[in-house]
Amino acid sequence: MITVLVSGAAGRMGSEVVRAVLAEDDLELVAAVDPAHSGQPIGEGTTLSYESDLASAIEATRPQVMVDFTHPSVVGGTIATALAHGVHCVVGTTGLPIAELEALASNARDGACLFMAPNFAIGAVLMMRFAAEAARFMPHVEIIELHHDRKADAPSGTALRTASLIADARTTVPAAPGRETEIAEGARGALVEDVTIHSVRLPGLVAHQEVLFGGQGQTLSIRHDSIDRTSFMPGVVLAIRNVVHHTGLVIGLERFMGEQG
């Protein structure tokens, strides 16, 4: 049995995580933290209520793993608190630079692992893998990421990760044309590691990304769509089961996809 605390537990992702943890026989939900809903019952067949203070919830329940889906402005603090108590972290909140994650992981107590995945959907991990493979042969590429209109960061963590994987895989780096002829600023998107990223924000969307390659007389599109947030839950559960066997900073669900769990 792995004991789990969910941080951001009343949010769109956090509430799915609560349901996913409660549904697994080998996972036990011991606490759910969300200051905006402090004292309210969680429901979902558990007698637990949302708590407001992470440190006291950890001290009272001693979870093995904290799962965090909160906000870029608070996640650094929640990770620091959990790692200082020797609690393994499974982090889905995007927006923290790698250097900050490295600094947080270096202060972990008792060998606790900091695991972060920019995308917990297995299909999205495959989309990134296939995009990196394609970039070796088709270096002209742009990313279009599409998310709901309340997303806190742009570009998405998935788009940044995809750009980084493409940058590592490409052997030639073509210039991104058209910037100098932009009539409206930003029309050609953001340039990240020499890869152009366009961010779309609209109500009705969940999380989508298309990686569009161009070559002589042809294009190749690699697209992934998360149609609802349950798409992320098999990946979150996989991460909870694996994080307890690791230490230090681990990034990307692909690191656990070959492992049991």
Shortest spacing between CB 109 and ligand NAD, in angstroms:
20
Taking CB positions, which residue lies at the least distance from ligand NAD? 11
Could you write out the DSSP letters of every residue in 164-231? HHHHHH-SS----TTGGG-SSTTTT-EEETTEEEEEEE-TT--EEEEEEEEETTEEEEEEEEE-SGGG
- The single residue of 88, 147, 224, 246 carrying the catalytic annotation is 147
| Cα separation, 214 vs 236, whole angstroms | 34
| Residue 75 · residue 68 · CB < 8 Å | yes
Q: Given the DSSP bridges, would you call strands 2-7 and 65-68 parallel, antiparallel or unpaired?
A: parallel
**Cα 118 to Cα 162: distance, rounded to the nearest angstrom:** 10
Q: Output the smallest distance, CB 62 to ligand NAD, in A.
A: 18
Rank residues 33 and 83 by Cβ distance to ligand NAD and give the closer one: 33
Residue 84 CA, chain-centre distance (Å), reads 22
Least distance between ligand NAD and beta carbon 71 (Å): 5
Asked if 147 is an active-site residue, the reply is: yes
Chain residues binding ligand NAD by CB under 6 A are 7-8, 10-14, 33-36, 69-72, 74, 78, 92-95, 117-120, 151-152, 207, 232
Q: CA–CA separation, 83 vs 175, rounded Å?
A: 42
Q: Which is nearer to ligand NAD, 79 or 138 (CB)?
A: 79
CB of 173 to ligand NAD, least distance (A): 28
- Residue 71 or 255 with smaller CB distance to ligand NAD: 71
Which residues are tagged catalytic?
147, 151
